[in-house]
Structure 1
């Protein structure tokens, strides 16, 4: 499958999530089959003004390719200058976020607020395409401001007409944020409306969700965020469906543990100690949220600040899971609680997700 001149080996992509999709997480998702990964959402203005946080989020290494950079901007001039800077790093795709619904972003006329300004949206897309040269450009959008103001078909056509190579469609409105299920019917309508590749987004937590989205919308790719947390295996399982005709099997606890420990080591290498341990905690909780003992794991992981001890704790936890040490938990309830807590975290401005 292609986006512009970019050939991709998989049809599932890792979506940007602030404070989550750093280099270690992108790398491990790529190893498990993500066809394309995205940097965290980065301010175009921050790049031009040499903001440390923006430049840090922009960093990636060659082993991560193919990789996309996602920008946040509402000023064509800043956007053009930022892209000229970014091109030196040779990313494989550049994306503009017009889908972030967080108030802290929208109140500055950024993110999903751009859905209400078709003229500016068109200018931004054309600016990106002209500045990016042979690097493909994609635009991330939502259905519209609210259910009474659905603008997704108009905006998708503007994006196509101004030269973008793909459009990413999140099946919720700005006002819905992440509360209601994603309405995939609009993704299908966009696919019928435009000729450029359509990337479907929203409510993909399991491989079967992605397969249903492909079947119901005929989209070209799927964009996964929360569904990949502690679950990079989702990409391999989706790819298995297209390569072999059957959904790949879920990993056993040993594979989960091995991935968690490898991820921990990658974070420590990237951030050192003790910062790496602090960064790794949320990821480790996400890896083991599918198993009995998650409440005990969550309580104890915050008391350990040494990576070697964390690794020993993980190995011990795996053995306890395998031999039924922990009492049965309502894992469906745990999963629901997980989603709600992640959403609360989003609304509290960390992390910002584009799922």
Structure 2
């Protein structure tokens, strides 16, 4: 799969997720064979006004390349300014968020709200493409705002006309958020309507899901979001299955614990202990979901106040099960 001048090793892509796809997790995904990683969404205004926290979201490690940094906003001029900043930070790809369904984003006319104003969306894409220079621009959006306004095909055509190098489509409407089932038919319709690469997103949790999406929709790449939470191994499993047809074994309990603790160390090193520990609580719950006594573990995670607390919790748990 190729996006602009960027050649991917495989079509397996990590979806952008706020609070999840930070630098440490992207590195783990890349290590597990992910073809392309996307950052958390970054506010255009935060970049323009030099918000310290926002600027930190642009941090890139050479080991994670190629990497796409995602920006969001609702004004062509400010999005163009943000794109120039992101391009200068060394991003391989700049992505525009037109799919986030959260109320605090939508109420500002950003994220999936832009699907309700296609003409404005088109102007934003064109402005970002011009500002990005040689850096390819991609756009991520949803099936539509709701079932009465399904316009993913229109959005894809506008994105292509405005100069986007590729689009990603989540097969749910904004109204659905993450409930119900993703509509893969809309992904196929988008793929048939444009010449640029199309990535499908929604309900990919196994290697078989990934293969089925590629077959049923004809899309060029598959984007994995919630299926990767606490499960970076999914990228290796999917890439291997697409190449060989072989299903790799699931990670052992020991491997899950080791990976959890490794991500903990990476988060603490990257963000400091106070923030790293608190952000690790969600990741730890995902890593241990479905394991014996997982509900009890979640309570302990939420009480952990230090790296040592986390290590003690997991080592005690390991001792009881292995």
Distance 1:204 1:163 in 2: 28
TM-superposed deviation, 1:288: 1.1
Alignment TM-score, normalising by the size of structure 1: 0.87
Moved more, 273-282 or 152-161: 273-282
1:34-45 alignment to 2 at 5 Å? 34-45=34-45
Root-mean-square deviation (CA), in Å? Answer: 1.5
Q: Which secondary structure does the structure 2 equivalent of 1:39 belong to? A: strand
Distance 2:275 2:150 in 1: 43
Moved more, 227-236 or 143-152: 143-152
Moved more, 229-238 or 49-58: 49-58
Tell me what 1:330 maps to: none
Tell me what 1:263 maps to: 263
Q: Does 1:228 align with 2:242?
A: no
The structure showing larger relative contact order (alpha-carbon pairs under 8 Å, at least 6 residues apart) is 1
TM-superposed deviation, 1:298: 1.3
1:81-230 alignment to 2 at 5 Å? 81-230=81-230
Tell me what 1:351 maps to: none
Alignment TM-score, normalising by the size of structure 2: 0.95
TM-superposed deviation, 1:123: 1.2
Distance 1:204 1:242 in 2: 13
Structure (1 or 2) with the greater strand fraction:
2
Q: Which secondary structure does the structure 2 equivalent of 1:290 belong to? A: coil
Tell me what 1:8 maps to: 8
Q: Is the 8 A contact 2:71 2:97 kept in 1?
A: yes
Q: Is the 8 A contact 1:273 1:307 kept in 2?
A: yes
Q: Which secondary structure does the structure 1 equivalent of 2:97 belong to? A: strand
Change (3 A) 1:242 1:208: closer
Tell me what 1:67 maps to: 67
Q: Is the 8 A contact 1:291 1:321 kept in 2?
A: no
Distance 1:224 1:154 in 2: 24
Moved more, 170-179 or 268-277: 268-277
Distance 2:20 2:241 in 1: 27
Q: Which secondary structure does the structure 1 equivalent of 2:310 belong to? A: helix
Q: Is the 8 A contact 1:293 1:321 kept in 2?
A: no
Q: Which secondary structure does the structure 2 equivalent of 1:37 belong to? A: strand
1:224-262 deviation per Cα after TM superposition (whole angstroms, max 9, x unaligned) = 111111100000000111222223221111221221111
Moved more, 50-59 or 217-226: 50-59
TM-superposed deviation, 1:67: 0.9
Task: Identify unmatched segments of 5+ residues in structure 1.
Answer: 323-355
Q: Which secondary structure does the structure 2 equivalent of 1:149 belong to? A: coil
Distance 1:190 1:72 in 2: 22
Q: Is the 8 A contact 2:58 2:89 kept in 1?
A: no
Q: Which secondary structure does the structure 2 equivalent of 1:74 belong to? A: coil
Task: Identify unmatched segments of 5+ residues in structure 2.
Answer: none
Distance 1:279 1:60 in 2: 19
Distance 2:215 2:307 in 1: 43
Distance 1:57 1:313 in 2: 30
Tell me what 1:292 maps to: 292
TM-superposed deviation, 1:221: 1.1
Tell me what 1:278 maps to: 278
Distance 2:274 2:109 in 1: 37
